[in-house]
Amino acid sequence: MKTENFIRLLAEDLPSGPARQGLALTRWISATALGTGATFLLFAGARADLLGGGLLPSIMKVFMGALLAWAAIGGATSLARPEASVVQPLRRLVTFAAFLAFLFATELVFRGPDGWLVRMFGKSIVGCLTVIPLLALLPLVVSLHALRGGATTSPTFAGGLAGLASAGVAIIAYAVFCTEDSLVFVATWYSLAAILVAGLGAVLGRTLLRW
């Protein structure tokens, strides 16, 4: 039997695959993110000015995390079927990339180029690049487990998307704690933290999601 025919038959044998995988992935990643995020905030605490001057910046960062999670979960779900194309996941990621570009442009327009590097490096790069990946570990594990029920032909890409989704929900929790409000800082280092988790997800996905 040709590979193309085998893939088509397998896809027909999983008529509810994407919906089932999407529901499972969303449910499990949300539950674990809520648990790890709540535990982190219980010990670390939210930023002191969350209900004051820090409210709007925190909302923006939470939105960033939610947008990344939306893009990656949808992309990973679409890859659960063996005949799926990588085009749809890439389109969703382009939406997130456009939001990052918007953050950079907004910072440049309203605050100007002066002090750009100072604002970009901030004071908590290490914390950002450490805490976000740590908060994303458990969501990543359960998301990979959920995706194993599918039949993706792009295990590395699907694993990377699971990592991005996990980083997205981790960012939501970290945003309530982080006091770095520079848009260029957030766009740069939050994204790099997400890329680190995506890399781990891709490595694990290559092995765990292969069939």
> What's the pLDDT tens digit per position in 116-150?
889 999 999 999 999 999 999 999 998 888 888 77
Band the pLDDT of 12: cuts 50, 70, 90: very low
* Backbone torsions φ then ψ of 210, nearest 5 degrees: -75, 145
User: Average pLDDT of 7-21?
Assistant: 46
112 or 45, greater pLDDT = 45
CB 189 within 8 A of CB 72: no
Q: What pLDDT does residue 83 have?
A: 66
Nearest Cα residue to 48 out of 185, 177, 172: 177
Band (pLDDT 50/70/90 cuts) for residue 22 is low
Which range of 4-8, 30-34, 134-138 scores highest in mean pLDDT? It is 134-138
Q: Determine the Cα–Cα distance for residues 150 and 210; give it in Å rounded to an integer.
A: 10
DSSP helix/strand/coil, 185: helix
136 in Cβ contact with 195 (< 8 Å): no
**Taking 60 as the threshold, does the pLDDT of residue 10 lie above it?**
no
- Tokens representing 101 are 């570009």
Quick check: 64 and 186 in contact, CB under 8 A? yes
For 28, other C-beta atoms within 10 Å of its C-beta total 17
Confidence label for 13 from pLDDT (cuts 50, 70 and 90): very low
**Cα–chain center distance at 209:** 18
Report the pLDDT value the prediction gives residue 84, as an integer from 0 to 100: 67
Check residue 146 and give its pLDDT.
83
Q: Would you state the pLDDT for residue 58?
A: 94
Cα distance between residue 66 and residue 81, in whole Å: 24
Contact 201, 168 (CB under 8 A): no
What confidence tier does 15 reach under pLDDT thresholds 50, 70, 90?
A: very low
Q: Please tell me which residue, 19 or 78, carries the higher pLDDT value.
A: 78
> Which two structure tokens, joined as six digits, stand for 30?
């949300």
- CA atoms of 46 and 43, how far apart (whole Å): 9
pLDDT tens for residues 43-100? Answer: 999 999 999 999 999 999 999 999 999 999 888 888 877 766 778 788 889 999 999 9
Q: Tens digits of per-residue pLDDT, 145-181?
A: 888 877 687 889 989 999 999 999 999 999 999 999 9
* Cβ neighbour number for residue 3 with a 10 Å cutoff: 9
Q: Please give the residue that has the higher pLDDT: either 191 or 20.
A: 191
Report the Cα 41 to chain-centroid distance in Å. Answer: 19
- Label residue 65 exposed, middle or buried (CB < 10 Å: 0-12, 13-18, 19+): buried
